[in-house]
Amino acid sequence: MEKVRTNLLMCAGTGCVASGTPKVRAALQEELEKRGLADEIKIVLTGCNGFCAEGPVMLVYPEGIFYQKMTVDEMPKLVEEHFLKGRPYEKLLYKEPEKKHAIPAMNEIPFFKHQVLRVLRNKGMIDPDSLEEYIARDGYMAAAKALTEMTPADIIKVVKDSGLRGRGGAGFPTGLKWEFASKSVADQKYMLCNGDEGDPGAFMDRSVMEADPHSVIEGMIIGARAIGSSKGVIYVRAEYPLAVKRLQKAINDCHEKGLLGEDIFGSGFAFDLEIYLGAGAFVCGEETALMRSIEGKRGMPRPRPPFPAHKGLWDKPSVLNNVETLAQISPIILHGAEWYRTLGTEKSAGTKVFALTGDIKNVGLVEVPMGIPLKTIIYDIGGGMKNKKKKFKSVQMGGPSGGCIPMGLIEIPVTYEDVVKTGAIMGSGGMVVMDEDTCMVSTAKFFLEFTADESCGKCTPCRIGTRVMLDMLTDICEGKGKDGDIEILEDFSRDVIATSLCGLGQTAPNPVLSTIRYFRDEYESHIKDHWCKAGICRNLCSFHINEELCKACGACLRACPQKAIVGEKKVPHRIIQELCIQCRTCYDTCKFGSIEIGPAAVKEKKEPAMK
């Protein structure tokens, strides 16, 4: 028997695979073999580690050293330095941008330091394809406890007491949902998992399914026991092939080992589970539409009541829980409701996973206790703005159903209630950070484009309303906005919210409303002054060179695709407005901040040729 002295946990989440894990792994393995270390050092592929921006990443245990941005070429040196000679290979260590020295240990990196892992407890710690490694981390002990020592009522009580709320967006208490379904009487009930993650910029569910598929399955077994269901379906979008593959492997292993099927743990309880692939329509994340989709029909919502707890899939009582919610279940069963409540706030207990993207330095996946200040997530964990010279402007939370939170509210604690008060929603946990170069009207337009596209068409206010609003926003961005447009947009928003059937229509105007609420001046300056101060809307801006700041370096002059900039050495440059197409290239090129953005320039139009 060979003793393995070191485990190398390489991230094989979608992000790191895309940035090169397979090739780097092959190179590393080859190098270890060449040095005769292959027997004592083992490479394990794990799910998403969360620090996607730095991928491919790898953790070395027992030392707990974190390597990032690994490349094939660096592997021989890494093996020689670290695994042969035992000194961390400085070049691949994480470095904090302001500091020169490298930080080797994972728990010293701010990105990881502020996180508390419950949902992601196994991220980067186990091989997601290994049932044994999941079991080694207390896997299926909660299911065993729930099936052999607890009654369905006991399970529901613990989940209710824990204060766990649905992590898919609406935040409905999970225990209550289970209780309703458990009280419904029927010959068949269904336990369903919602893996139809569709918000732009959100990828926490995909990560859980990829990194720890068994945690979802175990949550479903416990939920099924609580409501008295013998059949379950995991609804995953087909765009998540890796998640589907790992879930399927996990389900197969469970069937083989008797963790799914008849008489689990000799308790007499039977539960079967299958995967259903969704085609990627955003509306299928809505529960009634999702159930119609599983039935093979067109995914469209229907009125509630009857609620799914009474009539859901195939008109049988059903519970639909989000991936992240289900992954929280087994620790709650094992450690109890009190333990769960040690983190978070009274009404928002426990932890929440957020996907950080946008103009932020540390793009990735983070899990934090609820109630943590938004500022801590953005500045400490997220590392602040990607471009240090730019100021933070807003963070968009909750995807197309959410809203934009401005700088002034950045101190709020992140809980369901506090986020809703700002006009955004917790949603599934997407956080898109935007810096000062963002046009908020365009941002609202972007999200509305998404919802207008994804509206299923059933309700007129949503189908037509979002389209009309989108046309108005497009007009505003193109300089065709009129006085009174803002008020009409607000009116329309209220109508669409009040008269749409499902969550999609009821929340689609949120990005518009919240940007009007906090950035009304930007709308006004678009409409009245024809001035997009961020310089994003091409028809509504002009670029000028501040002669006092210009160093006459010629950088903008060379970069301009229109040759619209004139100037020579030691003479401040100038932009010829008639030639400028407002492409921003000069603005992004200038190192001295000498390019300023003004309102749309009045240009001499060329006379049409005489006939």
Partner 1 sequence: MARLTIEDLKKIKDKQKATFSLREGGYRAKVTVHMGTCGIAAGAREVMTVLLDEIAQSKAEDVITTTSGCAGLCAREPMVTVELLNKPPVKYGDLNKEKIREIFKEHVLGGNPVEKYALVVGSETTY
Question: Closer to partner 1 at the Cβ: 39 or 453?
Answer: 39
CB of 50 to partner 1, least distance (A): 16
Integer Cα distance of 573 and 570 in angstroms: 9
CB of 256 to partner 1, least distance (A): 5
Q: With contact defined as beta carbons under 8 Å apart, do 526 and 536 qualify?
A: no
CB of 138 to partner 1, least distance (A): 7
Question: Closer to partner 1 at the Cβ: 64 or 457?
Answer: 64
CB of 252 to partner 1, least distance (A): 11
* Residues forming the site for partner 1 (CB under 8 A): 1-7, 9, 40, 61-64, 83-87, 125, 132-133, 135-141, 144, 148, 256-259, 265-266
Question: Closer to partner 1 at the Cβ: 63 or 239?
Answer: 63
Burial 249-260 (b: 16+ CB within 10 A, else e): bbbebbeeeebb
Do the strands 41-46 and 58-61 form a parallel or antiparallel pair, or are they unpaired? unpaired
CB of 325 to partner 1, least distance (A): 24
Chain centroid, CA 328 distance in Å: 17
Integer Cα distance of 188 and 561 in angstroms: 66
CB of 22 to partner 1, least distance (A): 22
Question: Closer to partner 1 at the Cβ: 2 or 548?
Answer: 2
Stretch (H or E) spanning 241: helix 241-257
Residue type, 256: E
Kindly tell me the sign of the dihedral angle through the C-alpha atoms of 438, 442, 445, 450.
negative
Cα-flanking dihedrals φ and ψ of residue 231, to 5°? -135, 140
Six token digits for residue 437? 């170069």
Cα distances (angstroms) measured from residue 81 to each of 77, 78, 85, 319: 6, 5, 5, 53
Integer Cα distance of 358 and 173 in angstroms: 30
Question: Closer to partner 1 at the Cβ: 133 or 315?
Answer: 133
Question: Closer to partner 1 at the Cβ: 104 or 429?
Answer: 104
CB of 139 to partner 1, least distance (A): 8
Integer Cα distance of 332 and 351 in angstroms: 12
Integer Cα distance of 62 and 541 in angstroms: 56
CB of 66 to partner 1, least distance (A): 13
Task: For the chain, give the number of residues.
Answer: 611
Integer Cα distance of 126 and 8 in angstroms: 11
CB of 85 to partner 1, least distance (A): 5
Kindly tell me the sign of the dihedral angle through the C-alpha atoms of 197, 321, 342, 59.
negative
CB of 297 to partner 1, least distance (A): 37
Question: Closer to partner 1 at the Cβ: 266 or 457?
Answer: 266
Do the strands 6-11 and 58-61 form a parallel or antiparallel pair, or are they unpaired? antiparallel
Integer Cα distance of 445 and 455 in angstroms: 15
Integer Cα distance of 565 and 557 in angstroms: 5
CB of 83 to partner 1, least distance (A): 7
Q: With contact defined as beta carbons under 8 Å apart, do 442 and 217 qualify?
A: no
Integer Cα distance of 494 and 517 in angstroms: 13
Question: Closer to partner 1 at the Cβ: 4 or 498?
Answer: 4
Six token digits for residue 94? 């994480």
Integer Cα distance of 35 and 38 in angstroms: 8
